């Protein structure tokens, strides 16, 4: 594990750096609906991207990743870089420039504890962290919502992943001990206290990452756009797919089988989100768990964004009578969010690790976490100029 002092020593900073930390996110319910105007219930957790940043006297940009042991020096940031991690930073720079904000020379070192490609949004965490850091060091006073929107645009346009707003928004606005209920059609939100009684959440990283994740994700988004066009033939005033009534008979909509499955997931998730909020409010984690399993089945069978390893894992958990589990994030690998009785973790993790290993020869990672605050600055106390 890398420490803040490793981060501060990783570049010969010309000036005292400032330090920002930007969290990872989970999502309790509302999956693959944030680009359709849906409700989502994510939260930020205590796995972080750490960013040390300092002005540099020349007009150039020096980036260092502690995790990848790579340094990249650029005099121009308009082009995609061969180092993928750099593009999340450049994308944000480009969005600031589009707003007429000049980016001065900078030294930026990055480290962190978020596993990459695990569906915990390490990319959005970096983008939001950079946007927030720039706003602070350039004294721009951007709102957290503006920073989230800039970070989303960086991902959509520079990186090319047509993600929704959920990840960037919660990373910018997350709050300790609360989930954030976000209406992605208006960006109105409220904090929801997470009281799970005698249960707890934890994460299992399947360690599976499918290369085509971004393109498969973009395909799903396109399919939903096609479905909306078709449905509008019957309901011309429909503003987005999520506004369709959950009682709508999908056979009346002239959709192909594939599009019907996609829409069925979206409407099912709408109903499950209502239910999940009700069960959270009324302190019924057992019922919430059922909703999580249903959401997973829908993501796997109707939206088709799971994979055999994740499905195997969720089935194992179900067979062990764990209260609830489902894939989270974009899918095609990554983490499973588990809702389990407090005290079960050791037994379940041992059991699941062994079965998964003998099936796939892959060693699972487990993450226990706390719900933590969104992006923020922390004080630098350990820096010694070299």
**Selected binder of ligand GLA within 91, 164, 174, 374 (CB under 6 A):** 164
Contact 178, 162 (CB under 8 A): no
- Comparing C-alpha atoms, which of 167, 117, 111 is closest to residue 331? 117
Is 205 catalytic? The answer is no
Stretch that binds ligand GLA, among 68-76, 96-104, 163-171, 307-315 (CB under 6 A): 163-171
Residue 268 within binding range of ligand GLA, rule CB under 6 A:
no
**Selected binder of ligand GLA within 163, 263, 302, 339 (CB under 6 A):** 163
Contact 11, 151 (CB under 8 A): no
**Selected binder of ligand GLA within 166, 181, 314, 322 (CB under 6 A):** 166
Q: How wide is the angle at C-alpha 250 spanned by C-alphas 248 and 252, nearest 5°?
A: 95
The helix (H) or strand (E) run that includes residue 202 is: strand 199-209
Q: Which two tokens stand for residue 18?
A: 């400032």
Q: What residues between 143 and 162 interact with ligand GLA by CB under 6 A?
A: none
Least Å distance, CB 329 to ligand GLA, is 4
Find where tokens 């799903």 sit: 220
Q: Which is catalytic among the residues 34, 167, 340, 372? A: 167
Give me the 67-106 binding string for ligand GLA, x by CB under 6 A, dash otherwise: ----------------------------------------
Least Å distance, CB 60 to ligand GLA, is 31
| 3 state SS of 138 | coil
Give me the 22-61 binding string for ligand GLA, x by CB under 6 A, dash otherwise: ---------xx-xx--------------------------
Least Å distance, CB 273 to ligand GLA, is 11
Q: Which two tokens stand for residue 102?
A: 């000049």
Sign of CA dihedral 139, 143, 147, 153: negative
Q: What residues between 301 and 340 interact with ligand GLA by CB under 6 A?
A: 329-330
Contact 266, 272 (CB under 8 A): no
In degrees and rounded to multiples of 5, residue 378 shows phi and psi of -125, 155
Can you tell me the distance from the alpha carbon of 178 to that of 165, in angstroms, rounded to the nearest whole number? 18
Catalog residues that contact ligand GLA under the rule CB under 6 A. 31-32, 34-35, 121, 163-164, 166-167, 329-330
Residues annotated as catalytic (active site), given as ranges: 167
């Amino acid at each position: 594990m890398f420490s803040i002092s490793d981060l501060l020593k990783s570049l010969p900073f010309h000036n005292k750096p400032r330090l920002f930390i930007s969290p990872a996110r989970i999502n309790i319910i509302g999956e693959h609906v944030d680009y359709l105007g849906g409700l989502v219930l994510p939260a930020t957790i205590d796995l972080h991207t750490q960013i040390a940043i300092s002005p540099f006297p020349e007009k150039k940009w020096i980036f260092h990743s502690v995790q990848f042991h790579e340094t990249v020096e650029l005099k121009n940031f308009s082009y995609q870089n061969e180092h993928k991690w750099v593009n999340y930073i450049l994308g944000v720079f480009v969005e600031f420039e589009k707003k007429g904000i000049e980016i001065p020379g900078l030294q930026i070192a990055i480290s962190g504890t978020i596993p990459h490609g695990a569906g915990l949004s390490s990319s959005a965490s970096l983008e939001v962290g950079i946007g927030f850091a720039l706003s602070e060091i350039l004294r721009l006073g951007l709102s957290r919502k503006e920073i989230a929107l800039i970070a989303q645009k960086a991902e959509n346009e520079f990186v090319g992943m047509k993600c929704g707003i959920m990840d960037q928004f919660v990373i910018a606005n997350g709050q300790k001990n609360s989930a954030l209920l976000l209406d992605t059609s208006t960006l109105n939100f409220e904090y929801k206290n997470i009281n799970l009684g005698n249960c707890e959440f934890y994460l299992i990283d399947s360690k599976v990452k499918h290369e085509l994740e971004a393109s498969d994700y973009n395909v799903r988004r396109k399919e939903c756009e096609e479905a909306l066009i078709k449905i509008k033939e019957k309901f011309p005033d429909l503003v987005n797919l999520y506004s369709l009534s959950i009682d709508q008979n999908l056979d009346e909509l002239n959709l192909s089988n594939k599009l019907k499955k996609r829409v069925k997931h979206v409407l099912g998730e709408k109903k499950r989100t209502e239910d999940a909020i009700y069960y959270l409010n009324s302190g019924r984690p057992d019922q919430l768990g059922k909703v999580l399993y249903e959401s997973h089945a829908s993501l796997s069978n109707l939206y088709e964004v799971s994979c055999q390893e994740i499905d195997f894992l969720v089935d194992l958990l179900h067979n062990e009578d764990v209260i609830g589990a489902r894939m989270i994030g974009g899918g095609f690998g990554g983490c499973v969010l588990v809702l389990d009785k407090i005290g079960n973790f050791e037994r379940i993790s041992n059991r699941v690790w062994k079965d998964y290993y003998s099936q796939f020869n892959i060693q699972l990672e487990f993450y226990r976490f706390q719900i933590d605050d969104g992006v923020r600055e922390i004080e630098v106390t350990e820096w010694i100029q070299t």
